[in-house]
Every structure is written in structure tokens, then in C-alpha cells.
Amino acid sequence: MGYFYSCVAMCGIVGEKLVKDLMRGSILVSSEGGVSRPTEEAFDQLERIDASAIVRFLNKAQLLCDDAKKAAVDLAALRNQYAHARGKNPQADALESIKKLHTLLDGTVSVLKDYEIIEGKFVPRSG
């Protein structure tokens, strides 16, 4: 049964990382000096923000579609149940977690399909 618990947990962790990476790849800051990307140190300050707040921000900014938003929120809730030993149906919830993660991937990978990561940053694909 432990395999199912870890499946739910890992799907939740991957989903959260995916959402945070989407945020990191999408934010630019405007200042007197122009427009620039925040430093990694600046982004690290956001690590304490609840992932559901980031999901809502990305959805309102139209970077995350409604289906992906719902999947991310549902996946986080499911992960939290198991992280706090309150899960009641590990096998079914593991399968549900995988479905939610796939929905989240479908809603985010399509946003990033025209970009690649170079030196830790999302940049438009050439050619």
C-alpha cells in the first residue's frame, strides 16, 4: 500500500514544481532600468507562497487554463490528504493523482511547447 501513498505524494510534488516553473518562466519585472527577469534569489523568496495561490495567479493571468487550474488544485488537495495520513483509498487515489497530473501537464506543456530551457531560463525555440 505504501507504493500508492508515494504515487499520490510524487504526483503532487511534480504538479507543484510544474506550476512554480511555469511562474518562473513567465514573470518579467518592469523598473526604471527597463524590463528584466527576477534573479533566482528573488524567485526563491516566493517558495513560501502556497502553491494554490500561484495556481490562481497563473489562471487569472491566463497562463493556466481552467481545466489545468482545477487539476492542480485537486491534486494538491489529494496530496495533502496523504501527506497528513488522512488518505482513505490509496489505490484509487493514486490513479486519480496520475489523471490530475496528466491534465495539468496538458494544460502547461502546451503553454511552454514553443520554449526551451537554456541555462535555467525559458527562451523561445529558434527555427
113: confidence class by pLDDT, cuts 50, 70, 90: low
Which segment of 3-12, 59-68, 116-125 scores lowest on mean pLDDT?
116-125
Section 5-9 average pLDDT: 90
**C-alpha dist (Å) from residue 75 to 39, 49, 90:** 29, 17, 14
Question: For residue 90, is pLDDT > 70?
Answer: yes
Question: For residue 15, is pLDDT > 80?
Answer: yes
Which segment of 2-11, 17-26, 104-113 scores lowest on mean pLDDT?
104-113
Question: For residue 46, is pLDDT > 90?
Answer: no
Cβ–Cβ < 8 Å for 8, 16: no
pLDDT tens digits, one per residue of 97-107: 999 998 998 88
pTM over 0.85: no
Question: For residue 95, is pLDDT > 60?
Answer: yes
User: Could you state, in order of their start, the residue ranges of all structural domains in the chain?
Assistant: 2-124
